[in-house]
């Protein structure tokens, strides 16, 4: 952020009075521009013991596999956003179920939220942002080609819970801010 | 948003190619400015069967009661944010517990997330954004003076679950976008 989105004047990055974090502050109109994590929401759709995966057609991680997920929009619930992403990326009408995982992706300033979902009909297709969509048996999940650590965490917890006959929810954090080169 | 925060040129509100929602688009530098819901996170701190409430010292709803909560910041987890808000608003060191509620506040473009929490010592104070902080018995919660519907939903589910000896999590939505005057 270089300019005030309210008045167009240059902004400065400093700690406003009474605050304790630096913000983008506009001295011309007085607006303080807060920046907060964005929510990414998705689901693990299942149909007859197979899971719906999409191969990404856009960056980041083009060509790698993931479950349908994307940025939550204003005016929708988490569940509505998860269902919309399945519709957009896999042309699939899913029924969103229980909360499955919450992943704090700290370096990306994102919170990823995933739900269980059922895909009543084996009806799906390749959405505009996908290269390929498939229903796979758990044994056939392409673990080496999964797009994101949050997807892998989510799929593994999903399968563990399913094997144990439970529907828990799981928190974790991923932080590459402090990543160092190997010695 | 009137000006591009990247280059300072005026922005236009329209649907970009390949999208299906209007966005603030800068024709000068090509940046598309996405706007997404912000996450508010809080907790219900309990100490010896009493709950910690704060009377708000700032708008909106100045003078009304709530649990410690506020906007999640970049670089922190939901649990860290909830603990930080308790520290800032009630000078209280809490241990964050299980997920309690998720409230989609659609008209405000916010997602409110609350956790259970324990307050090991009855040590608290009045933070900069509070007028008053108190530990109350459930029977003494000032229901008529609770600041927000998401706070009331959260406190009621908390007490119901506690009475039933369980720790569930609860989703709901609040939508005042379509509110009409009574006939």
Q: Does residue A182 surpass a pLDDT of 70?
A: no
- For tokens 């509100």, what's the residue? B13
Cα A94 to chain centroid distance, Å, stands at 17
Beta-carbon contacts below 8 Å between A and B: 104
CA angle B155, B161, B164 (to 5 degrees): 145
Q: Which residues of chain B lie closer than 8 angstroms to A72, CB-CB?
A: 36-37, 111
Strand segments (E) across chain A:
12-14, 23-25, 32-33, 38-47, 50-56, 65-66, 69-71, 95-105, 110-118, 130-136, 170-174
pLDDT category at B182 given cuts 50, 70, 90 is low
Residue with tokens 């990823």: A112
DSSP character string of A140-169: G--GGGBS-HHHHHHHHHHHHHHHHT----
Taking only the tens place, the pLDDT of each residue in A65-87 is 999 999 999 999 999 999 999 99
List pLDDT tens digits, range B57-112.
999 999 999 999 999 999 999 999 999 999 999 999 999 999 999 999 999 999 99
Count the neighbouring beta carbons within 10 Å of the beta carbon of residue A92: 27
CB contact under 8 A, B39 and A34: no
Cα–Cα distance for residue pair A66/A41, rounded to 1 Å: 12
pLDDT (average), residues B31-42: 96
**Cβ-nearest to B36 among A4, A72, A104:** A72
ipTM of predicted complex: 0.94
List chain A residues with CB under 8 Å of B10.
Answer: 8
Instruction: Calculate how close chain B gets to A54, using CA atoms only, in Å.
Output: 19
Residue A17 has pLDDT above 80, yes or no: yes
- How many whole angstroms separate alpha carbon A35 and alpha carbon A3? 14
Are residues B111 and A37, on separate chains, in Cβ contact within 8 Å? no
pLDDT tens for each residue of A96-144: 999 999 999 999 999 999 999 999 988 999 999 999 999 999 999 999 9
Distant-in-sequence, close-in-space partners of B136: CB < 8 Å, separation ≥ 6 = B50, B51, B53, B142
Distance CA B23, CA B32 (A): 7
pLDDT of A183 over the 90 cut? no
Determine, for residues B104 and A77 on separate chains, whether the beta-carbon distance falls below 8 Å: yes
Mean pLDDT of all residues in A152-177: 97
């Amino acid at each position: 952020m270089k300019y005030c989105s309210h008045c167009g004047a240059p902004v400065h990055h400093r700690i406003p009075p009474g605050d304790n974090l630096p913000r983008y502050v506009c001295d011309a109109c007085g607006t303080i521009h807060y920046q907060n994590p964005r929510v990414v929401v998705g689901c693990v759709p299942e149909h007859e013991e197979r899971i719906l995966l999409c191969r990404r057609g856009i960056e980041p991680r083009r060509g790698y596999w993931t479950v349908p997920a994307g940025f939550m929009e204003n005016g929708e619930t988490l569940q509505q956003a998860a269902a919309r992403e399945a519709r957009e990326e896999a042309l699939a009408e899913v029924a969103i179920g229980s909360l499955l995982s919450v992943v704090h992706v700290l370096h990306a300033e994102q919170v990823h939220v995933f739900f269980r979902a059922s895909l009543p009909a084996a009806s799906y297709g390749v959405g505009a942002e996908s290269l390929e969509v498939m229903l796979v048996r758990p044994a056939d999940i392409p673990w080496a080609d999964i797009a994101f650590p949050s997807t892998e965490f989510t799929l593994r917890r999903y399968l563990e819970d399913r094997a144990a006959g439970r529907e828990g929810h799981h928190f974790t954090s991923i932080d590459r801010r402090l990543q160092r080169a190997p010695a």
